Each structure stands twice: as structure tokens, then as C-alpha cells.
Structure 1
Amino acid sequence: MKIEPQHVVSLTYNLYVDQDGTENLVEKTTEEQPLTFLYGAGQMLPKFEENLSTLSTGDNFDFKLTAEDAYGIYDEEAVANLPKEMFSGTDLPQIGDVLPLQDNNGNRFRGQVVSVAEDAIIVDLNHPMAGQELHFTGNILNVRPATPEELSHGHAHGPDGHHAH
């Protein structure tokens, strides 16, 4: 079956990023635990979906996304100083910790602690893969029409259309 909006796609993929001239595998799914998503619902990177738009069940894929089409260019300005008082009553975050944060509009995002100063925690708000070209290879395992429940919820409920228990 061909991939179309309002269809659920299950696929396996390997994600490679270039590190010092070598492509390193950074993420992988398997046939036992594929990536399953509602196509066209805005859950995936738009260019990721665009690259799958002509494919059908059983097809292989191999494409690259530029940083601009993936998680954006690395922004040197996207660093925040969080006052240490924010963490009173809890353990202070350590360098490398990833903190769940929320802005004034209720948007959730994550920031990685890059340093701990005397009165502040310095957090990098860039996506961990910002500034990187992503190379995806994989296989379309299954394409099926979404169920009415999945369409109303706006996401897939698993490869077979049911929530896992």
C-alpha cells in the first residue's frame, strides 16, 4: 500500500550523523520495535515525511536531510542562564544533565546543562542534533489506513492500530 496522509506507517530506520568525516550510527529501530506514526499529522520532520511520500510497503529508503531541514542550524545564542534558586529543594543539575523546561507560552522543550556557575545553571537549548546533517536508511514495513480513533487522537496506536498493554 502506498503512503498517503491519514495512513499509519511502520518502518525501520538507521540514523547516521557525520562526526569528523565518519558516519556514525546514532539511532536505530528494529522490526520488533519499529517507528510507527500517523503520516501527515505533523509528528515527524516535514522533510522526513516528504522523502517517504512516494514509497509503499516493502520499499527501502536512503536519504539525507540538511541541518536546516532537520533540527536547524546550531544557534550560539540559544543558551539560558537559570538562577540556582529555581532548583532549591532539589539536587542541583550536573553538567550533561538534560532538563525538561517550559516557556511562558507552555511550550515544552529540553535543555542540556553545559556549565554550573556560582549563581546560575547554564543550559544549551539547541536540539542535540542541531547543526547536523541526518542520513536515514531503512525499510517501509507496513502502510495501512488509520482507524477513526487514531484520526481523532491525531497519532498512531501501534503497528496494528491498538494500544499496547
Structure 2
Amino acid sequence: MSELVIENNSQVFVHFDVEMLDGTKADSTRAHGKPARLTMGDGSLSGAFEVAIKGMKKGEKRRFSLDANQAFGEANPDNIQHLDRGQFAADADLSEGTIMAFSTPDGNQVPGIIREVAGDSVTVDFNHPLAGQTVIFDLEVLDIIQRG
């Protein structure tokens, strides 16, 4: 039996670190001690990310960068909302940079970053925190499962 490689229908378990160009770590599955499960071809990963890891084998490590359009997209000004201070709990931490969960009309939770508080107006950014950024992935393949 030949060694499995990541293909279009693979489910892949990986550890990865995400870094900014200045070396700042933005995320790490290693730090959390829990690998990520990725499913190739299900639409959750960017095409460029899938291309970057396709063909990798179990145990293989790869470091690669993706620009904003290939990773988390450009920041969308329509995703920045100005909300009334009264919509927040009295004890809510509205410090600039605070990330908090917001409920969507369909009941899902989405993260928003507090960008500014001016009087009764709270500016919340619903873009992905890494939108508009080139990011570097340091990835290690732990396991590959081919789906039927």
C-alpha cells in the first residue's frame, strides 16, 4: 500500500502556527495542544491554502505564506458597525481591542473587535482579525484519512 498524501477528498489532522510578517504569533494549535482537523474540498479552506498542502505526507512539515486575498481576505468596510452603547451590558469590557461574541439574527455567534468608543457610539469590526494581512503558516501533517 502506498503512503497516503493529501488529496482533494482528504481529511487532515495538522498542527500549525500562524505568524504575521513581523514574527508575531497570531494562532497556534500547538499552544492549545489540540490539532486542527481540515477537510479538503469542503469550502472551508482557501484554494491557495489547499494548493499549498496538497501532496504532503504524514509527518511532513511545510512553511508557507499566503497574502491577504489567499488567506483571510481583505478587510471589508461594510463589516465595521457603529452600535449604540445601550446595546451592551453595563459591565461589558469595551476597551479598544477587546474581542467579544455577538449573536446573529439566526442565533449563531460571531466575533467582533471593539475598535473605538466615542460617547454612546461603539465601533465594532466584524472582519476576521487577520483580514488584510499576509500570514505565514508553519504546518505539520499528523494524520491523513481519505474519504470515500
Same fold, TM-score > 0.5, yes or no: yes
Aligned match of 2:15 in 8, 12, 29? Answer: 12
Output the CA distance in 1 between the equivalents of 2:20 and 2:28: 12
Corresponding residue SS for 2:128: coil
TM-score of the superposed pair, with normalisation by structure 2: 0.78
Q: Which residue number in structure 1 is paired with residue 127 of structure 2?
A: 126
Q: Deviations over 1:99-120 (max 9, x none)?
A: 3235557775322112222222
Q: Which residue number in structure 2 is paired with residue 23 of structure 1?
A: 23
Q: Deviations over 1:60-109 (max 9, x none)?
A: 2121100111112234554211122322x553441232232355577753
Gaps of 5+ in 1: 149-165
What is the one-letter code of the residue matched to 1:57? K
Q: Which residue number in structure 2 is paired with residue 79 of structure 1?
A: 80
Aligned length: 143
Output the CA distance in 2 between the equivalents of 1:52 and 1:94: 39
User: What's the % identity of the aligned pairs?
Assistant: 25
Output the CA distance in 1 between the equivalents of 2:120 and 2:25: 38
Equivalent residue runs for 1:44-63 within 5 Å: 44-63=45-64
Q: Deviations over 1:142-165 (max 9, x none)?
A: 11134x8xxxxxxxxxxxxxxxxx
Instruction: Say whether the 8 Å CA contact 1:93–1:113 is kept in structure 2.
Output: no
Equivalent residue runs for 1:1-165 within 5 Å: 1-18=4-21, 22-30=22-30, 33-76=34-77, 78-87=79-88, 90-95=90-95, 96-102=97-103, 108-146=109-147
Output the CA distance in 1 between the equivalents of 2:140 and 2:92: 43
What is the one-letter code of the residue matched to 1:17? M
Instruction: Say whether the 8 Å CA contact 1:114–1:124 is kept in structure 2.
Output: yes
Most deviating of 69-78 and 125-134 = 69-78
Corresponding residue SS for 2:102: strand
CA RMSD in angstroms, aligned pairs only: 2.7
Q: Where do 4+ consecutive residues of structure 1 move more than 4 Å?
A: 102-108
Corresponding residue SS for 1:23: coil
Gaps of 5+ in 2: none
